[in-house]
Chains A and B, each alone.
Chain A
Amino acid sequence: DTEVTQTPKHLVMGMTNKKSLKCEQHMGHRAMYWYKQKAKKPPELMFVYSYEKLSINESVPSRFSPECPNSSLLNLHLHALQPEDSALYLCASSQDRTDLPSGANVLTFGAGSRLTVL
């Protein structure tokens, strides 16, 4: 079983709906990430949280709103999405250690939430 848990596994929503994706980890990691992956494409970074503060926003449209309520939880709030936002949304976490080589901060991914926007 993955150590990063994402819910729900599948989500179907209309363009006027408001929904949320949730991610939880209990590995003591202090960096958490959201990636978007379209079919047959590599993952693309959306957001990075470091110590519960937003560190990177890759120019993501405001209809995606991330939230990190504590060091174990990461949410992605969805509102007024478009059909082209349909994708696999992957959450990941890692240590956030500057005293170690980057290989020590390996990203551990969840199984993803597959989103379909009608």
Chain B
Amino acid sequence: AQKITQTQPGMFVQEKEAVTLDCTYDTSDPSYGLFWYKQPSSGEMIFLIYQGSYDQQNATEGRYSLNFQKARKSANLVISASQLGDSAMYFCAMREFYSGGYNKLIFGAGTRLAVHP
């Protein structure tokens, strides 16, 4: 069975510093996708970044980058130059194997990030 693990319940970082949020996964499927979402206190889940299992390069989106280490089955999110607005819950998610075009995502437990001024 597929599994996503986020071992850091909470993290804090100083404004303008970089922070890494950990995510490990387990799957026997050679084709998979990994996603990171941000959930502020308002509740909406905001898509941040995606990494496919066959992608040769690590994904980057602005201040977000994904440190993808396939052999170690880890997909850590790196946020550079943290801002106060980055304070939120962060979820790592993996697409379960599917035969259709939709994405059935399973989520990790989440990491709550607090950015301090």
Chain A residues close to B by CB (< 8 Å): 2, 30-31, 33, 41-45, 48, 50, 55-56, 88, 90, 92, 94-98, 100-103, 105-112, 114
User: A42-B91, A110-B44, A112-B44 are known contacts. Are A105 and B103 too (CB-CB below 8 A)?
Assistant: yes
What is the total number of residues of chain B having a CB less than 8 Å from a CB of chain A? 27
Q: Which residues of A contact B18 (CB under 8 A)?
A: none
| Max chain B C-beta neighbours (<10 A), residue from A96, A98, A101, A110 | A101
Q: Which residue numbers of B lie inside 8 Å of A, CB to CB?
A: 32-33, 35, 37, 42-47, 50-52, 54, 91, 95, 100-110
- Bound CA–CA A102/B95 (angstroms): 8
A-B contact count (CB 8 A): 80
Q: Assess the B103–A107 pair: CB atoms within 8 A.
A: yes
Closest to B31 in A: A102
* A23, B46: Cα distance in complex, Å: 17
The reply to whether A55 and B110 contact each other, CB–CB distance below 8 Å, is no
Q: Which of B35, B101, B105 has the most CB atoms of chain A within a 10 A radius of its CB?
A: B101
- Which residue, A31, A102, A107, has most C-beta atoms of chain B within 10 A? A102
